[in-house]
Structure 1
Amino acid sequence: MKTTNENQITLFIKQQNINKIQLVITLGGDGTVIWAANIFENISVPPILSFNMGSLGFIAKYPASSIIKVVNTVLESESIFIDLHSKLTYQVFEGENILTGTCINEVCIDRGINGSLIELEVYLNNEYCTTAIGDGLLIATPNGSTAYSLSAGGSIVHCAIPSILITPICPHSLSFRPLIIPDSVIIKLKVSENSRHLPWFNIDGSNKRKINLGTVIEIKLSEFCIPYVVLDDGYSNWIGRLRDILGWNDRQRQKALKHSPML
């Protein structure tokens, strides 16, 4: 890797430079990757090569200690593997106000600091599905299936599966199980007038805001994907990270009790 002196470093200005970027390299945790990808909100995202310096690093795929080796390999390769991860777009209709944006992991509507339940009417392609009563609801991408949705009991979904996850947060019903639906479905959530208080809305754990009763949130697949650079095929890379980082189905084998004079 060639060294760079300070005269070759250019300050990034989003409005001027965003269309010139061909590769994004992140140093940090999964939150850093999400922040970098969100810079390219309504345009094509360039390939992202991520190095983990955070606490977990499931989507930050490589250790920071390997940065020189990995970057050199990528730059010298004639072809590289790309993992395409889907994004979601959302529109929040609150009276005459419309809030729009994209999310990478999940759209979250929850009860916030209040102790009472909230009620959300769920519609799939304009057809009534159910009313979610509980602490809240997550609408997640496969990328987000290993984030908040997983902690709330949602399924783990490979990013090559074109799907959207609907995961309840502490539902007030034992039969309300998580759903995985096709990514062609348009989801609408309406804050029920019967909700005991105003819920909170946030995207990927940030930009938290309170929303009013009657507010409608429309969520659908974004036309843009997030391309992650990987050095091997995305399948084995994903399986390995499930085991090594999340400890998926990991258990310690029982060992025979050795003879002890104390027994």
Structure 2
Amino acid sequence: MEPIDQPEPAYAEPQRQVQRWLGRCMLSLQQSERLLKALLHDADFTAVHSGRAGEGAAAFEVSRTFDNERLASMTLGGAVTAFFGDVVTNTEAPSDTKRERDLPDDRMSMKFSFRQSISSEAFEALQASMREMVALRNEWVHHLVDQFDLWSLEGCALALEDLQAGYEKAERFRLEIQGIGKDMVAAGEQMTAFFASPQGRAALFGDKIPLESTMLLGALRDAVAGTAPASDGTLLLSAVLEKLHALHPHEKPENYGYASWPQVIHESRVFGIVRHDAEGRKIPPRVRLIGSNSRRE
């Protein structure tokens, strides 16, 4: 005797719609979780040279605050908590005084940390958004069938409405994290470009950065142009330095491996320092253009 086909209950197709939308929501959140963990993985690491010669980049032993083993057991909620402690910070909150790992003095070593500081308002909004996603994820996983009667048309309709609204939030959440990830990638590319440049190689190996590769010479030119010269065309060094500090307070010779501004002036091959007058008498140091008739010492 052939079985008699039983018609599907009315709620069957709406229930399948609920299942499909639940899948969309969970996939979106899983993408966000993977992005968060990737950000944590790359946000903080140290690289210490093994001391072995001839191995290139392979000689660096890299350790990460959030290694793969730690991240594998981390939940979405745990990733969000770590994210706000180690990647995004509140510019108005007291600075964190966590102890940094000591680096060895006898080997080449470096530490990289990515931090994005945002306003208190933006920090609270992003944190609220992420906490909402964690709560939604827990509700969908643990309580969806408790909240909605999925064996009724009305229950399916309410569940579908909840999931569709939640999916929009989950996608906004994913795009927010993706934006922070793009900022981190850009910062990493800038760091790579810097260490590939003469400035970066000099900074890495403790050498002086070539003067033409720094902002020092431009800052010096600005200061000279803004200082009134004497009748012989020279300028008081003290007046030049006063103008320089006013125009470029953050430009300092020691930032580039130079001991002082007089050293920068001496090595610029554009300017020189005059310390004696034409009769050989000592005078307050003055700055002159190379090629002028003033005596240089």
Structure having the larger proportion of residues in helix: 2
For normalisation by structure 1, the TM-score amounts to: 0.21
Query: Higher relative contact order by CA 8 Å / sep ≥ 6: 1 or 2?
Result: 1
Structure having the larger proportion of residues in strand: 1
Structure with max Cα Rg: 2
